[in-house]
Amino acid sequence: MLSSEQALKDGNLEQALADIQQAVRKDPANVKNRIFLFQLLSVIGQWERALTQLNVLADMDAATLAMVQTYREALRCEVLRKEVFSGLKTPLIFGEPQQWMALLLQSLNLAAQEKYQEAQNLRNQAFDGAPATAGSIDGERFDWLADADVRLGPMLEAIINGQYYWVPFQHINTIQIELPEDLRDLVWMPVHFAWQNGGEAVGFIPTRYVNSETNPDAAIQLARKTEWQEPHDGLFIGLGQRLLSTNHNDYALMDVREISFDGTDNI
């Protein structure tokens, strides 16, 4: 085991970074070490440095090109994602926009401006307008499913075809989530979507809530737990691993393998 891997296991991200950087300097042509460095830089939110490592890998080894292209796009989406939650940009909405979706985005912008009561009023209207999405999660039935972070609720963050989307749960038929294997899965979980209209896509769900990457708690950065901030009554903002809620239970994203929805919907 690399010393950086042991430091990571111990939750010492600063030491892990120092160790892997030393290993890369000692053996610059080692592809495995550079991939580890790219992944660790992604965990701690150093997007530009992570991108630099991907560019080096593309020049070093043609076998990495597919990975490089995929994660270049994911890194770019992370920058946009932060701007979206800061109220500076608007995400792409997957499918036909509806009134409740516009209200939810307006609520997000107001919350970013700390206009919490106005944001809550619009958010309540959005939730009232959003359809319930019955189905099952790893075989357990639910009447509705939502992101536990109320800024999202009936929407799911996703990276599809290199673009950052908010996807209404009503448009999804199934989500198949791969078993986490690599360090980068703490940042982006690979998924396969089947849509209610019969289409399919592969993509990612961001594993952690936005700003988790720069949190001083390594367990938050490493998606080992979920914590909640409540800057205003009823406004629960997540940090750490994404949590999905149903009328029966809460589910950490990395523990979920398949979500299936009932009903039909025209995107």
Distance in Å from the first CA to the final CA of the chain: 48
Q: What are the CA-CA distances from residue 154 to residues 123, 124, 150, 175, 264 (Å)? A: 11, 12, 9, 15, 16
110-168 confidence digits (pLDDT tens): 999 999 999 999 999 999 999 999 999 999 999 999 999 999 999 999 999 999 999 99
Helices (H), 132-180: none
Predicted local distance difference test score (pLDDT) of residue 234: 86
- For each of the domains in the chain, give its residue range(s) and CATH number, in order of start: 3-83 (1.25.40.10), 132-261 (no CATH)
**What values do phi and psi take at 153, rounded to 5?**
55, -110
Q: How far apart are CA 259 and CA 171, in angstroms?
A: 13
For each of the chain's 267 residues, which pLDDT tens digit applies?
A: 578 999 999 999 999 999 999 999 999 999 999 999 999 999 999 999 999 999 999 999 999 999 999 999 999 999 999 999 999 999 999 999 999 999 999 999 999 999 999 999 999 999 999 999 999 999 999 999 999 999 999 999 999 999 999 999 999 999 999 999 999 999 999 999 999 999 999 999 999 999 999 999 999 999 999 999 999 988 999 999 999 999 999 999 999 999 999 975 555
H/E stretch holding 157 reads: strand 155-160
Please name the residues in contact with 32: beta carbons below 8 A apart, sequence gap of 6 or more: none
